[in-house]
Amino acid sequence: MNNWEKVIVSPQSTIRNTLSILNETGLQIAMVTDDNNNLIGVITDGDIRRGLLRNICLTDSVSTIMNTKPITANIKAHNNELKEIMESNGILSIPLLKDGKVVGLESLHHINKKNKYQNPVFIMAGGFGTRLRPLTDNCPKPMLKIGDKPILETVIRSFISAGFVNFYISTHYMPEQIQEHFGNGNELGVKISYIHEELPLGTGGALGLLPKDLPKDLPLIMMNGDVLTNVDFERLLEFHVHHDADATMCVREYDYQIPYGVISGEGNKITSMVEKPIQRFFVNAGIYVVSPRVINSVPKNHRIDMPTLLEQHMNERNNILMFPIYEYWLDIGRMDDFNKAQIDIQHMRLVP
């Protein structure tokens, strides 16, 4: 891989800096080396996600979460050998060494070429976009242009670049504009079908309108049509399948700083004082992987939002997982978000 040198970091580099490198390069691994280019460890996006779940701070050094015993290969190894090593060890990338020094990086994705996923992709594109009026008075929000493409086209192209070819789009407000632009998907080399909601059914209720001939055993990726992101959809799907989840919700870390000193006490005695503490939460990112069990549980024309639907299944089987995302993500709900997206699209790696 030609850009492997861009993902070399020092042990003192912060997790935040490493995140930036992973996002800019689109690779899912960073290699930690000393001053002589000897490999010390590796950082994958999985290491970072697990660190976020343990409340690791982004200002901490990568040495706190790196894998100090990574699997490596000799630079002379053939592709078949590298593929066997990665598949047998469940890894997606492998550093290539010569005399202990990093001289390259290979990925399973690069060797296998592009996979084709038959998993359905269901995109919610029926909202009114009232907070973006007057822009949405005569245009559905997903069809507003960010850069030179509608938001929805950028979303679909990001899935296509990851190997997905089977799309369903849920429509309600001005559906004809969406259908006229995308047609049946032939021009993009994919299949696009439309699910029209006569009345808004909520993000979960739209699942009940999907055709019964969906692939029986394949989970579906579901996403709001007004979200810009470079989330690794392949890694998300692999996570869901590996853990045999009923559903997986993508979540983002959200920080809120209390603008006052927080006082704790027992009776009339102060036990602690914390000046302007920061509280961290995980919030719903509007991206899900849903297994057939959950899809089939939604009756036709039944109104329900995804959080409520998933909560019902949590109570039944307690098998709903969360997948922390650190990649670029922007929900274009307000005018400020729309203006920010116009700037971000110029330099973010949204569509290869």
Could you give the 3-state DSSP secondary structure of residue 161?
A: helix
pLDDT in tens, 101-144: 888 888 877 766 556 788 999 999 888 878 878 888 888 888 98
State the average pLDDT over residues 61-70: 89
Contact 28, 92 (CB under 8 A): yes
Higher-confidence residue: 337 or 291? 291
The two tokens of residue 200 are: 């808004």
Q: What is the DSSP string of 32-73?
A: EE-TT-BEEEEEEHHHHHHHHHTT--TTSBGGGT-BSS---E
Q: What is the pLDDT of residue 351?
A: 44
Contact 15, 48 (CB under 8 A): yes
State the average pLDDT over residues 209-230: 89
The pTM is what?
0.68
Contact 73, 88 (CB under 8 A): no
The two tokens of residue 300 are: 């036709």
Is the pLDDT at 326 greater than 50? The verdict is yes
State the average pLDDT over residues 73-86: 80
Residue 160 to residue 147: CA distance in whole angstroms: 19
Q: What is the pLDDT of residue 217?
A: 86
Go through the domains of the chain in sequence order and give each one's CATH number.
4-112 (3.10.580.10), 121-344 (3.90.550.10)
pLDDT in tens, 155-195: 998 888 888 999 999 988 888 999 999 989 888 888 999 98
